[in-house]
Structure 1
């Protein structure tokens, strides 16, 4: 039995909504639906009745729910018991998407090592849903995110914000006809990108790397939302006229009962993580 199927089942049973469950689990709605179908196929029963937006547990679903919760709880206890002795006071695994590492986390790591000589850090780059999964499975201690996952078992702390501006390299031409390099910073940037796309600009590239986006701006004549302070280091970057500033919030996220919580809170006192400039 795949525990991820049970976690998805439990989340859908809580929210009674596939879309909201997908948001909580950092999955697509189709992935949630696929997991539920797979679990139903394995068990040979229907777990939910679906009538438009009215999703309810079937009798089989009601019977499965307490077992699923117990299985997940037992699995987490087993992981805790096995991994507890592997934790060290000076060891921490930190994860973030590429965008966040490229903007501020590299500088933060340098600062941490200068202040904590015996610190051992494992730095991970992955997608949001993978990092949230690793956090639950205790493969990851600290997740730096643009949006805090909506889960009761997770603690989060607002660290600050990164001002984003719409940049381009091209100093000529019609700004309204630029194609877009799409970067998934968060909800606010998605809304701004939709406004740009509504002008029939089109997308030239979708990437999770801000450095790649910056490099491609020069050759494509596109525009992209990048950290505002990058203009100080790259004088060829031009702010697209009449474009809004996005203040992208940054959060630290960790398990409430994490064995590393004291170390996490100690390291989060480092002012390098206050990223609004």
Structure 2
């Protein structure tokens, strides 16, 4: 069976209609309809019922969704892992939140290269939504993120905890910049500092906010590690008495990966996270 038929089936299931799936896949609705008709003929089953509210899975469609997910996941894993680079017996596909590349991802990569030299590494950085999607579809083996998602077949483990502290430019006054650090921070922030989130300047990328404050003044909640060197240099200062917030880091991976040295891989990650905290 053409793997594209399974992908189309899953996209309709997620989007809720043939029209929405066609837009997401950048094809015509006629193409989507033809693919599903072909798939239903091959399976001798009706997979969707269509109505004004969209496309709903039939009982047979519900059953096929499990197989379609596995098929697409296996195919995408094979595409990502093959062919193996010369001189390597396995490959580890790692994705991480962009903000975690230094020092956590960098040190872990160095450790993996020295400890498991026969394992090829493919390292990517993404936002949390993309990382979750990559793990779900088997395109990466391990994700390191601040914002995991919990779903069947995936193991989520907290590996370290960062702190968000209120800092300000020591020399230049400026406004409070609200950074979107996720839903958990949003709830804690609103409870501790009502109304502060309604700032005239908001961002969703900490490094940009940090650079803006250094050059233009102002204050914001930033990761303590990211601001540490600038505090030491006297460019920034921590606002005394301001509440601080926790910002945990998690790993995500499938519960049945094919990688053999999985315990060793995660042991190294935990040890590096502990060293960074210290």
Whether 1:229 and 2:234 are equivalent positions in the alignment is: no
Deviation per CA, 1:182-203: give whole Å up to 9, x if none: 143x433222444657147515
1:253 deviates by: 0.9
Aligned to 2:50: 45
Q: Could you tell me how far apart the structure 2 residues matched to 1:276 and 1:246 are?
A: 16
Quickly say closer, same or farther: Cα 1:228–1:85, change in 2 above 3 A. Answer: closer
Aligned to 2:254: 255
Aligned to 1:217: 213
The question of whether the paired residues in 1 share the 8 Å contact of 2:185 and 2:245 is answered with yes
TM-score, with length taken from structure 2: 0.69
Larger RCO (alpha carbons 8 Å, 6+ apart): 1
Q: Could you tell me how far apart the structure 2 residues matched to 1:167 and 1:191 are?
A: 20
Q: Could you tell me how far apart the structure 1 residues matched to 2:263 and 2:116 are?
A: 14
The question of whether the paired residues in 2 share the 8 Å contact of 1:171 and 1:238 is answered with no
1:47 deviates by: 9.0
Whether 1:189 and 2:185 are equivalent positions in the alignment is: yes
Q: Could you tell me how far apart the structure 2 residues matched to 1:150 and 1:247 are?
A: 20
Aligned to 1:207: 204
Q: Could you tell me how far apart the structure 1 residues matched to 2:247 and 2:73 are?
A: 33
| CA-atom RMSD in angstroms | 3.5
The question of whether the paired residues in 2 share the 8 Å contact of 1:90 and 1:118 is answered with yes
1:74 deviates by: 3.5
Aligned to 2:137: 137
TM-score, with length taken from structure 1: 0.69
Of the three residues 71, 74, 87, the one matched with 1:74 is 71
1:162 deviates by: 1.2
Whether 1:65 and 2:62 are equivalent positions in the alignment is: yes
SS of equivalent residue, structure 1 residue 269: helix
Which stretches in structure 1 are left out of the alignment for 5+ residues? 10-31, 50-56
Larger-gyration structure (1/2): 2
Quickly say closer, same or farther: Cα 1:112–1:75, change in 2 above 3 A. Answer: closer
Aligned to 2:238: 239
The question of whether the paired residues in 2 share the 8 Å contact of 1:178 and 1:223 is answered with yes
How many residues end up aligned between the 2 structures? 239
Q: Could you tell me how far apart the structure 2 residues matched to 1:144 and 1:5 are?
A: 29
Deviation per CA, 1:115-155: give whole Å up to 9, x if none: 44455322111122222222233221110022331111111
Deviation per CA, 1:162-218: give whole Å up to 9, x if none: 122122214575xxx83314143x43322244465714751524233x333221112
Q: Could you tell me how far apart the structure 2 residues matched to 1:181 and 1:75 are?
A: 40
Deviation per CA, 1:3-59: give whole Å up to 9, x if none: 3762783xxxxxxxxxxxxxxxxxxxxxx6xx113259856713979xxxxxxx96x
